[in-house]
Chain A
């Protein structure tokens, strides 16, 4: 639940999602769910020439299971808050 809550706070921020098939997509985080499925808006593909089929895709749904990384702006992370939340979650389980 921790990362679900964390991503919910990042809704509206610009992120780059790197998938396990090496495709990287930059876009605005529109929504996230308990499976960490991601919906991005205003998307652009990194290295567009390699993925011509993605040319007209502007919004997409990404299945959580295929995400390798979610790259965030450096000011998107409140490390202290995350640390506290992690400790609380660890204590709870």
Chain B
């Protein structure tokens, strides 16, 4: 194994190669931000210019513009370089307005909540035989 020497402590997987590029930043809360990287530091804090939040619900998506964003590194999951020669999204996906995506995501969230509580209900029923009460 190539042992880490004292100078290797300063080695870092640098984000410098991503500067001024259009990137996809995935955040811990599931948000997908797109924008141009203008600055970063050792904590993966980042400055994104012209940032937008790509909201995807099923086959619909919407890019909500955000402007200049400073992202705290602890929230960053992944920073991906977008290949300009490739399509950013599959062709079957449709772009909709902000109002439409908000409406759809509300219905989607309601449905997800209902499914979660249904699942909880069926699991409880299965545990009933234990007669723990």
Instruction: Give A residues with C-beta under 8 Å from B.
Output: 1, 4-6, 8-9, 19, 21, 23, 25, 30-35, 37-39, 43, 52-63, 65-66, 81, 85
Interface of chain A, helix or strand or loop or mixed? mixed
The reply to whether B2 and A31 form a contact with Cβ atoms under 8 Å apart is no
Nearest chain A CB to B15's CB is how many angstroms away?
Answer: 6
B68 at interface, CB cutoff 8 A: no
The answer to whether A61 and B89 have CB atoms under 8 Å apart is: no
The 10 A-B residue pairs with the shortest CB-CB distance in the complex, in nearest-first order: A57-B80, A56-B86, A60-B80, A33-B12, A61-B79, A33-B13, A59-B81, A37-B13, A31-B13, A56-B83
Q: Contact: B44 with A37, CB < 8 Å?
A: yes
Residue B128 is within 8 A (CB to CB) of chain A in the complex: no
Query: Cβ of B65: which chain A residues have Cβ within 8 Å of it?
Result: none
- Which B residues are in CB contact (< 8 Å) with A21? 26, 28, 30, 77
CB of A63 within 8 A of CB of B44, answer yes
Measured CB to CB, the nearest residue on chain A to B73 is: A63
- Residues of chain A within 8 A (CB-CB) of B133 are none
Cβ-closest chain A residue relative to B76:
A63
Does B130 belong to the interface (CB within 8 Å)?
no
A37 nearest CB across to chain B (Å): 5
Query: Are B1 and A53 in contact, with the CB atoms below 8 A?
Result: no
> In the complex, what distance in Å separates the CA atom of A25 from the CA atom of B79?
12
Q: Are A53 and B13 in contact (CB under 8 A)?
A: no
Whether the Cβ atoms of B4 and A8 lie closer than 8 Å is: yes
B121 contacts partner chain A, Cβ-Cβ < 8 Å: no
Q: A9-B1, A56-B87, A57-B80 are in contact. Are A65 and B13 (CB under 8 A)?
A: no
| A-B contact sample (18 more), CB < 8 A, given A4-B4, A33-B13, A56-B87 | A6-B1, A9-B2, A23-B26, A34-B12, A37-B44, A38-B13, A52-B90, A52-B93, A53-B32, A55-B89, A58-B83, A60-B79, A60-B81, A61-B79, A61-B80, A62-B78, A63-B73, A66-B77
Show 30 A/B contacts (Cβ-Cβ < 8 Å), sorted by A. Answer: A5-B3, A6-B1, A8-B4, A9-B1, A19-B78, A23-B77, A31-B13, A34-B4, A34-B8, A34-B9, A43-B80, A52-B56, A52-B90, A53-B88, A55-B87, A55-B88, A55-B90, A56-B83, A56-B88, A57-B83, A58-B83, A59-B80, A60-B78, A60-B79, A61-B44, A61-B80, A62-B78, A63-B44, A63-B73, A63-B77
